[in-house]
A and B are shown apart, each in its own frame.
Chain A
């Protein structure tokens, strides 16, 4: 498998920038909780995806392997969304 060291350093830079942004955004005053939590979770997912796709070499794998991993990881995410939805429905009803 060919290695692209420049790409690895670019991913490292992105991970560092996103981590700094995550920590920074927590200290920004006046941001609503919903916006803050959404922003933090999106940045965390972006970081996790960068690690899985580039450092764990999912980018080099076949579509079947990539989709298999994504499908398995989507199961708890879908469950979490269902639970959040159910909690929100209980609060609103």
Chain B
């Protein structure tokens, strides 16, 4: 049995060189395969969004169109999406991505104090992103942002392609952020217990792959859903 097959081995993994995949560990390769399958899920949603939007004569029922009586099935016009607020959330995810790689780097350098701090900041960034999404949907923090949320403004899931694709895609991404925050919190607890003190950053790198993927997908969602003009 090789040293890599020993599940109780916590030291730096000496993974054998392989002709095609190099020194990539089985866990890392497994995460890549999972992420590619997940990318297909997001691709399906984004392609459906593109097809619906491309085929639509009227994407968002603005106040002007509503007043012309062009969207009689709605009780009120649909709100615009807040670009500046979401740009802030995008920046937050970018910050959490860099704190994730800094945590990984600190584990490799066996600087566990920094590693714990950076990973904690990454989790905080993810949690704040989720709070931002709650504010965007429900106006949970309206006392800070003075915005009552998209649902109260009339953007209701199921009432139009604009609303439905928006919630389906951003909520699916939000579920990934929630999963990522949970995953990283487990890693952080392991770190606090000294699990990575030997400098073996493989598990942190695998968790980081998931977190960076969440960031990468948001980069595309932000552009396609929020920035492309109506």
* A interface residue numbers (CB < 8 A to B): 1, 3, 5, 8-9, 11-12, 15-16, 19, 22-23, 26, 33, 36-37, 40-41, 43-44, 47-48, 51-52, 55-57, 61-62, 64-65, 69, 72-73, 75-76, 79-80, 83-84, 87
One of B32-40, B70-78, B133-141, B142-150 at the interface: B32-40
For A57, list chain B residues within 8 Å (CB). Answer: 205
Q: Which bracket fits the contact residues of B?
A: 35 or more
Say whether B87 faces chain A, with CB atoms less than 8 Å apart.
yes
Are the C-beta atoms of B212 and A51 separated by less than 8 Å?
yes
Q: If the complex has contacts A19-B91, A26-B229, are A12 and B223 also in contact, measured as CB distance less than 8 A?
A: no
Are the C-beta atoms of B20 and A62 separated by less than 8 Å?
yes
Chain B at the A interface: SS class: helix
- Residue on B with the closest CB to A2? B108
> 15 interchain pairs (CB within 8 A)?
A3-B109, A12-B97, A12-B98, A16-B94, A26-B83, A37-B228, A43-B223, A44-B222, A47-B219, A51-B97, A55-B97, A55-B208, A64-B21, A65-B22, A76-B43
Q: If the complex has contacts A12-B98, A48-B220, are A61 and B22 also in contact, measured as CB distance less than 8 A?
A: yes
Nearest 9 CB-CB pairings of A with B: A76-B43, A44-B223, A3-B105, A62-B22, A12-B98, A64-B20, A55-B212, A72-B36, A51-B216
Tell me the complex Cα distance, A87–B39, Å. Answer: 24
Tell me the complex Cα distance, A24–B213, Å. Answer: 25
Tell me the complex Cα distance, A20–B108, Å. Answer: 32
For B90, list chain A residues within 8 Å (CB). Answer: 19
**CB of B93, distance to nearest CB on chain A (Å):** 10
Are the C-beta atoms of B47 and A83 separated by less than 8 Å?
yes
Q: If the complex has contacts A19-B87, A26-B229, A41-B223, are A56 and B98 also in contact, measured as CB distance less than 8 A?
A: no
Tell me the complex Cα distance, A61–B24, Å. Answer: 7
Are the C-beta atoms of B209 and A56 separated by less than 8 Å?
yes
